[in-house]
Amino acid sequence: MSELQTIKELREKVALSCRMIGNRGVTRGSFGHVSARIPGTDKILIKAKGPDEEALEFAAERDIILIDIQGNTLEAPPGLEAPQETDMHLAVFRARPEVMSVIHSHPDWVVALTACEKPLLPIYAAYNPPGMRLVLEGIPIYPRSVTVVNEELGKDFMRYMGDKKVCFLRGHGMTTAGQSVEEATSISLNAFELARLNYMAYSIGNPKPVPEEDLREYQSRWQKGTRRGDRQESSTGEPSDWRYNKKLLEKAGL
């Protein structure tokens, strides 16, 4: 496949991911961005901001601009530019060569939980095992609430995010990293649901983690890697949650 074709397909995926997380309420308005590394290059596609910016749920291919890993804009239509927090995306891409997509969003549940210093607990297992797995793997919290707008802050942020799939930012939102746009989108949606359910449980009383025995059972299933629900290639080559969210977009006319 030519680089142009790769860029075209990846640009469509990044725009789709923006619409998915906007449509599901993971972020609001134009706050947040999805980015993807073009395989084998130091080029990155990222959802743009600027006077002509769109909210994430309405993002189209025009909104996804091309930059390099130094942060220089390579291609962008008039009225659009790299977002202020591009440095956060670049910090993740530079530190972790395996990461192919980064998503930054502003989920309301995360802002409320981090403001009250309520730790995320594995309050469910069977309800959504991939979400429970995120909390077991650890979700660090970046303690500052400033936008990450330069290399120094990007490095500071990475001291907390490290090699994790998701990092919360106190009074701000969350950042996720995956080996594909589909994976980073899935992690964002699962972390959002985890925060939403933790918030609900804390609002009723004192949530308790599910029994240790159940967590161990899931850990043993993951080690075997043979259970239903483990990510498997579908006949279309698309993960089922990605196809589901595409259908939700169609249903919503997005």
Q: Which residues are known to be catalytic? A: 85
Report helix, strand or coil for 101.
Answer: strand
CA 249 vs CA 18, 46, 183: distances in Å = 11, 20, 18
Task: Give me 41's structure tokens.
Answer: 């290059």
Instruction: Give 170: exposed, middle or buried? Use CB within 10 Å, 0-12, 13-18, 19+.
Output: middle
Instruction: DSSP for 114-140, please give it.
Output: HHTT-------STT-HHHHHHHHH---
Type of residue at 210: V
